[in-house]
Structure 1
Amino acid sequence: SSLKSYRDLPKLLYHIQWKFRDEIRPRFGVMRGREFLMKDCYSFDLDYEGARRSYSKMFVSYLRTFANMGLRAIPMSAESGPIGGDMSHEFIILAETGESKVFCHKDYLDFDVLDEDVDYQKDLEPIVSRWTNLYAATDERHQEEEFDKIVPADKQCEARGIEVGHIFYFGTKYSASIGAVVLDSDGNSVTLEMGSYGIGVSRLVGAIIEANHDDKGIKWPESVAPFKIGVINLKTEDAKCNSLSEDIYQKLKSHAVDTLYEDRGGRAGVKFANMDLIGLPWQLIIGPRGAANNLIELKCRDTGNREEISVEQALQRLIPSK
């Protein structure tokens, strides 16, 4: 009701809030439950061209947001469902445990939306076109004959996917019914053009894990990891190990590097297994032999690569430069 004039547009309204849904068959933990955290956003524009610009901005923003989380999301033509609208795209990440079957051109797997700088005040249609020109569809919109015709056999990807975002262009479907109008520059009443954009925030946690894990546990992307580094003290009864581990932990904390300190007693194998299960991007392993020589072991959880380096080298590598 606060929108009266074309001068008030374009307008975006959003909220992040807990939702409750009478899910018939809750499953997959946070992936599909009756209670979940959701980001909802709605755009309001004076005409179709403006609404399309808003849609494109959100389209590109979603791609880049998911990419910064370590997710390769593929926008797919999707059914609008009960919410309606003339155009919609689901953002799907490929995962063996995905709820639905999806079909797409394999070239999408090599696209990187972060390769280019984006000016959201300019025309974003070239980016949207690049990400929609090739075949990509959910099971509900899949056309087998078209897929076989336009996608070479060696480029066909048939997999399971997890929906992490969904955007809709409504047009005037809802604004007309509620009388959402403004005055244009000529003083004429114009019904607003709307769009809707959603991300399942809590669902993303499950999706990130499903897309980044192995048989040992989680492999958190660094951008969303609960901690960047796990410091593992292999022998808590050794004074040198304790002193060096504590010193490293405090130095990392003083530089605002999120660090988890494993200082419990127990066997080394158990500590290694627990840290791999948790899946922090980096592990700093301090044992009595290395500690005596000011050496520690640095392990990358994603690749499994391990190297023995000095404490100074490790800190220089893991503490971001100002």
Structure 2
Amino acid sequence: MRLSRSFLPTLKENPAEAQIVSHRLMLRAGLIRQTASGIYAWLPAGLKVLRNISQIVREEQDRIGAQEVLMPTLQSADLWKRSGRYDAYGPEMLRIQDRHKRELLYGPTNEEMITDLFGQAVKSYKDLPQMLYHIQWKFRDEVRPRFGVMRGREFLMKDAYSFDLDYDSAVATYRRMLLAYLRTFQRLGVRAVPMRADTGPIGGELSHEFLILAPTGESGVFYDAALEEQDWLDEPVNVGDPKALEVFYKRVTTPYAATDEMHDTAAWDAVPEDRRREGRGVEVGHIFHFGTKYTQSMDVTVSGPEGTPVYPEMGSYGIGVSRLAGAIIEASHDDAGIIWPDAVAPFRAVIINLKVGDETCDAMCEQIYNTNIEAFLYDDRTDRAGAKFADADLMGHPWQIVVGPRSAKEGRVELKRRATGERKEVSVEDALALVLAD
């Protein structure tokens, strides 16, 4: 994308309505714009971030055998009345009527719909287990939406749902999903700590939420430093082996970790003092096992091994995709702007032409840009160099390729790594090798 022709409206000043870092930087970097209270349009660069996050989430779901579907945003109220949640859910649910006076709702979650879809198609235990997911927009009518995409009313979310024949199989699926989540967040370039959590209105008895550690997080967290040392991608786990999953699960959930609400002071006192950590966290994911709560309330059964009806055991697994965009910024920024992890950045690098109109500079910039136009944002504006550098830092590109008249004549560029600030002069070939490395 050429910056002179792009729809990337950056702001020099902090917007008055933005109270936290991610909201300020997402507005200033031209990622989003508010269209109504708690509802945002995602501009081209912001949409690229959403797609990059979604793709990593999708790959890790596929890796453990989940199958992608797409469910509608509008749901029939009848489904929720069957489960008993229609009146219990509260005013956060947006209830509407169509022209025929049929009751609908803008889905805040999809347990009822997926249970109904499953019940229509699966009739025998031989077709279990099943694990389905989708990435879809949700709506919850927050009383006071705030903090930009961190607590908006409309948000993009990955929901997955599992169906197993019995409790032991359901717990193995739960552990498989926990592993997938830890891999997902590590690939996104953030550390998300799994913490035992309350199940809330979803229901059930086994639940973990995942919090990215960030100074501006909304939840107080207490955790064992041993969790900071884990490399979730380092040791392969056979996801088809329940014993291997159990060993993994115990390894990552035994070290103490809790939010303010779940903090157990007696357990905390048992953590060695030099390993105790306190901080703030941003919730970006939540997983639940709730047994037969929905299959029973909606009377969905399969024929069991003995021919008798069996209510399948279910789990529900959410990741806030749009929320993650803000949470990553909360955890990765400095005074100059965003510091995107490589995997989610809208562009691998920005090419900064210090002298637009200079034949050598222009030719070199075009050569680099045309190598991979999807990977590069080309700052071809005639603005002064200081403004270009400021925008590059603000937008958080992992690399900056700086092309000036002197270095261009020698076939070299200045390469800056945004995360560390390190600068070095290298050949075009070496710059491309570093920037485009997987």
Q: TM-score, normalised by structure 1?
A: 0.95
1:246 to 351, 358, 366: 366
Tell me the distance in 1 between the aligned counterparts of 2:353 and 2:156: 37
Amino acid at match of 2:251: R
Where structure 2 has 5 or more consecutive residues not aligned to the other structure, the ranges are 1-118
Helix, strand or coil at the partner of 1:49: helix
Tell me the distance in 2 between the aligned counterparts of 1:268 and 1:180: 64
Cα RMSD over matched residues?
Answer: 1.3
Deviation digits for residues 18-51 of structure 1, max 9, x if unmatched?
1111101211100001111111111111000110
Tell me the distance in 2 between the aligned counterparts of 1:251 and 1:176: 57
8 Å contact 2:155–2:322 — kept in the other structure? yes
Amino acid at match of 1:7: K
Is 1:312 equivalent to 2:433 in the alignment?
Answer: no
Amino acid at match of 2:349: I
Partner of 1:159: 279
- 1:215-234 correspondence runs (5 A): 215-234=335-354
Change (3 A) 1:160 1:3: same
Deviation digits for residues 208-267 of structure 1, max 9, x if unmatched?
1111111111111111111101111011132211111111111233xxx51100010121
Where structure 1 has 5 or more consecutive residues not aligned to the other structure, the ranges are none
Partner of 1:13: 132
2:240 to 115, 121, 134: 121
Amino acid at match of 1:44: F
The Cα shift of 1:193 comes to 0.6
Is 1:45 equivalent to 2:161 in the alignment?
Answer: no
Partner of 2:302: 182
Is 1:271 equivalent to 2:382 in the alignment?
Answer: no
Amino acid at match of 2:191: R
Helix, strand or coil at the partner of 1:113: coil
The Cα shift of 1:318 comes to 3.0
The Cα shift of 1:119 comes to 2.7
Deviation digits for residues 249-287 of structure 1, max 9, x if unmatched?
11233xxx5110001012111111110111111111001
The Cα shift of 1:184 comes to 1.4
Tell me the distance in 1 between the aligned counterparts of 2:435 and 2:325: 24
Helix, strand or coil at the partner of 1:140: helix
Partner of 1:96: 215
Tell me the distance in 2 between the aligned counterparts of 1:313 and 1:4: 58
Partner of 1:280: 397
Helix, strand or coil at the partner of 1:265: coil
Is 1:141 equivalent to 2:141 in the alignment?
Answer: no
Is 1:196 equivalent to 2:316 in the alignment?
Answer: yes
> Aligned pairs, how many?
317
Partner of 2:415: 298
Helix, strand or coil at the partner of 2:209: strand
Partner of 1:74: 193
Percent identity (aligned): 57
Is 1:26 equivalent to 2:145 in the alignment?
Answer: yes
1:260 to 357, 372, 377: 377
Is 1:132 equivalent to 2:264 in the alignment?
Answer: no
Is 1:236 equivalent to 2:353 in the alignment?
Answer: no
The Cα shift of 1:317 comes to 3.0
The Cα shift of 1:135 comes to 0.5
8 Å contact 2:412–2:426 — kept in the other structure? yes
The Cα shift of 1:320 comes to 4.0
Deviation digits for residues 273-306 of structure 1, max 9, x if unmatched?
1101111111110011111111111111111111
Partner of 2:40: none
Tell me the distance in 1 between the aligned counterparts of 2:342 and 2:302: 45
Q: Which moved more, 1:118-127 or 1:264-273?
A: 118-127
8 Å contact 2:348–2:436 — kept in the other structure? no
The Cα shift of 1:118 comes to 3.1
Tell me the distance in 2 between the aligned counterparts of 1:118 and 1:260: 38
